[in-house]
Amino acid sequence: MVSTTTRGQSPSGMQFLPADRSPSASPNQQLMPLTAQVIEGDRLAIGECDVVRLLEQFGSPLYIVDEFTLRSSCRQYEQAFKQYYEGDSLVLYASKAWNCLAICAVVASEGLGIDVVSGGELYTALQANVPTDRLYFHGNNKSLEELKLALDAGVTIVVDNWQELRSLTEVTQQTSQIARVMLRLTPGIECHTHEYIRTGHLDSKFGFDPDQIEQVFETLSQTDSIRCIGLHAHIGSQIFEMQPHQDLAGVMMQWMAKAKQHGLPMEELDIGGGLGIKYTESDDPPSIDAWVKGVCDAVKKACDAHQMPLPRLLSEPGRSIIGSACVTGYTIGSQKTVPDIRQYITVDGGMSDNPRPITYQSVYRSVIANKMSHPADENVTVAGKHCESGDIVIQKAQLPKTEPGDTLVVLGTGAYNYSMASNYNRIPRPAAVLVNGGEANLIVARETYLDLIRHDQLPERLTSGHADSR
C-alpha cells in the first residue's frame, strides 16, 4: 500500500515521527509507532500502510495497531529480564489496556503471559489459546462464576480480599480442586500520578492491608485446598519515577520472608507494572530496559538483605506494551470559530472511542495524515461529535490548516481507548486493524446499528400499537 517512501521528517510531523528507528528503540519513549514514516512527500504511513487509504478501506474512525511496535515492546521486556535477572521471570501483559483475540495472540506468541481482571478477559485469552500456566486472574470482586471458570481452566488466581478468600475456599472444598493463588497486598507506596489510577497507597479498594497480612498467612497455612505461591502488588499507572518500584521490592521481600515463616512456599513475586509512555513532547518516561534493570536490581538487593533466594519475578506492563503501538484515525467534519477565543474542528468520534480526555483530562498529540508536509501553524480545539460540551479530544492541537474530509490521527491511543469504548449516544464502536509490512488485517469489526439493538427486548404489548400507558 506504500509507494515512494520518504524517511525525511516533515514540518508538521517532524517532532512526532520516531526519533530512533533502531531495534533497541524503546517504543514507550516515542510519540508514534516505530514504523511511522512519510510517504509520497505528504502522507502518513504506519506498518507500510497509507493511513488515509486505511480509513477509505475500513471506515472512520479506525484504530490502527502497528504489529512491529507491539512485538518490539514485548521482546524488549523479555530480553531485559533475561539480561538483568539471574532467576526465572515471566512478563504478563496487563490486558485491561486492550483485550481482544488478536492482541492476546500476538502477545502470547512472544512468550508473554497475560494478566486478566474479569471472566470476559479470561475467556478471551483462553479462546486465543494462551497457555493457562501463563494466565493470572486479578480483580477485587470476582464472582463465584468467575472463580469457577478460573479454577476449571487451571489459571493462577490473585486473591484480593477476605471475601474472595472465603469464597474460593468454599468452592475448592466443594469441588476437591486445589487453587494456585497469589495474594495482593497494599504496600503503602505512593507515586505521582492521577488520583484515579493510583492503586498502591493505603487508601485503596485493592488488596490486603498490612495489618491483615499475618492473619491471612496463618489462615492459608491451615487451608489444604489453596496453595499460596507468592505475593503481588501494583502501585499505579503512567509512572515515570524509578524509586517507588525500588522501594516496593524491599517492602514485598519483607512480607515474603514472613510468609515463609508460616510455611507458605512463596515462589513468585509480582511487582505489577505501571511504566508510563510518551503522550506529549514533555513526557520523559524511562526506557523499558532501564525500568526492568531498576526493578531487577532492587529485587536482588532486597533478597540479599533478607537472605532470601531469588523468587520467580513477574511484572505486568500494559500501557507501555500497547499504548504507543496504536493510533486512531478520524475524519474531520464541521468547524466553528469563536472570535478571540478558539477555533473548533470536529471529528467523527470522541468520548465513545476515547473516554480518557473527559475522564482523566488526558492530553494527546495529533497530525493530519494527508498534510504531513504542511506547516503546523494553527492552534485548534479538536472536538468530538457526542452530545456533551466536555467531549473534547484535544484542547490545544497544533495542526496545519484543516478542511472537512482531512484525516486527523491521534497518537498513543493503544491503552484504554478500545477497552473503555462505549456506545454513548448509540454510536457504534470503531473497527481495529493490525498493520505490518504493507498488509492490514481486521482484528475488530466495526459495529453496526443492528449490533446496537441486538440485545434490546421489545415487550409484545408495545408492538401492537395499542399500548396501555396506565
Sign of CA dihedral 235, 241, 245, 250: negative
Please give the pLDDT value at position 303: 96
The per-residue b/e assignment along 117-153, b for 16 or more CB within 10 angstroms, e otherwise, is bbbebbebbbebebebebbbbbbbebeeebbbbbbee
72 and 62 within one domain: no
pLDDT values of the chain reduced to their tens digit, one per residue, 470 residues: 444 444 433 445 555 777 676 767 999 999 999 999 999 999 999 999 999 999 999 999 999 999 999 999 999 999 999 999 999 999 999 999 999 999 999 999 999 999 999 999 999 999 999 999 999 999 999 999 999 999 999 999 999 999 999 999 999 999 999 999 999 998 876 655 444 444 455 666 787 888 888 999 999 999 999 999 999 998 877 887 878 878 889 889 999 999 999 999 999 999 999 899 999 999 999 999 999 999 999 999 999 999 999 999 999 999 999 999 999 999 999 999 999 999 999 999 999 999 999 999 999 999 999 999 999 999 999 999 999 999 999 999 999 999 999 999 999 999 999 999 999 999 999 999 999 999 999 999 999 999 999 999 999 999 876 556 55
353-389 burial, b if ≥16 CB within 10 A, otherwise e?
Answer: bbbbbbeeebebbbbbbbbbbbebeeebbbbbbbeee
Q: Between the CA of residue 470 and those of 143, 157, 459, what are the distances in Å?
A: 39, 51, 16
Per-residue model confidence (pLDDT) at position 309: 95
Question: How much is the pLDDT for 295?
Answer: 95
Torsion of CA 44, 47, 51, 57, to 10 degrees: 160
DSSP code for 298: H
Number of CB atoms found within 10 A of residue 188's CB: 17
Query: What's the N-to-C CA distance of the chain in angstroms?
Result: 61
Whether residue 447 contacts residue 429, with contact meaning beta carbons closer than 8 Å, is answered with yes
In a domain, 467, yes or no: no
- Are 317 and 340 within one domain? no
Cβ neighbors of 469 (< 8 A, separation 6 or more) are: none
Point out the domain boundary residue: 304, 322, 340.
Answer: 322
Do 296 and 244 lie in a common domain? yes
Which of 351, 401, 402 minimizes the C-alpha distance to 61?
351
Q: Are residue 225 and residue 270 in the same domain, yes or no?
A: yes
Task: Look up 387 and say whether it is catalytic.
Answer: yes
Report the distance separating Cα 309 and Cα 416, nearest Å. Answer: 37
- Tell me whether residue 267 is exposed, middle or buried, using C-beta atoms within 10 angstroms of its C-beta: 0 to 12, 13 to 18, 19 or more: middle
- Residue 195 CB burial class (10 angstroms; 0-12, 13-18, ≥19): exposed
For the chain, state the CA radius of gyration. 24
| Residues 17 and 135 reside in one and the same domain | no
Query: Which of residues 272, 290, 322 is at a domain's end?
Result: 322
Asked if residue 345 and residue 281 are part of one domain, the reply reads: no
Amino acid type, 424: Y
d(CA 200, CA 202): 7
Written as nine digits, the cell of 74 is: 514485548
Assess if residue 56 is contained within a domain.
Answer: yes
Q: Which of 322, 338, 364 is the last residue of a domain?
A: 322
Asked if residue 466 belongs to a domain, the reply is: no
Does residue 39 form part of some domain? yes
275 with 350, same domain? no
The answer to the question of residue 306 being in a domain is yes
Using CA atoms, how far apart are residues 119 and 96, in angstroms rounded to an integer?
12
Give the side-chain half-sphere CA count within 13 A for 53: 17
Say yes or no: 58 and 81 in one domain: no
CATH number of the domain that 30 lies in?
2.40.37.10
User: 210 with 143, same domain?
Assistant: yes
Residues 11 and 76 in one domain: no
> Residue 284 in 3-state DSSP?
coil
Strand ranges for 316-406 from DSSP E: 326-338, 342-347, 366-368, 378-383, 392-399
Positive/negative CA dihedral, 292, 293, 297, 298: negative
Decide if 459 is inside a domain.
no
Do 86 and 61 share a domain, yes or no? no
Say how far residue 145 (Cα) sits from the centre of its chain. 25
CATH number, domain of 190, equals: 3.20.20.10
Which residues neighbour 166 within 8 Å (Cβ) at sequence distance 6 or greater? none
Tell me the residue ranges of DSSP E strands in 312-445: 312-315, 326-338, 342-347, 366-368, 378-383, 392-399, 407-411, 431-436, 439-444
Q: What is the pTM of this model?
A: 0.93
The dihedral region occupied by 17, where left means phi > 0, alpha psi between -120 and 50, and beta the remainder, is: beta
**What is the extent of the structural domain holding 428?**
5-66+325-453
Looking at the structure of the chain, the number of domains it has is 2
Give residue for cell 493457562. 132
pLDDT at res. 246: 80
Separation of alpha carbons 460 and 452, rounded Å: 20
Cis peptide bond N-terminal to 61, omega within 30: yes
In a domain, 59, yes or no: yes
Which grid coordinates are listed for 64?
A: 490502527
Name the pairing type of β-strands 62-66 and 326-338. antiparallel
Tell whether 463 is covered by a domain: no
Q: Classify 221 as helix, strand or coil.
A: helix
Same domain, 91 and 232: yes
Q: Which of 74, 296, 326, 387 is catalytic?
A: 387
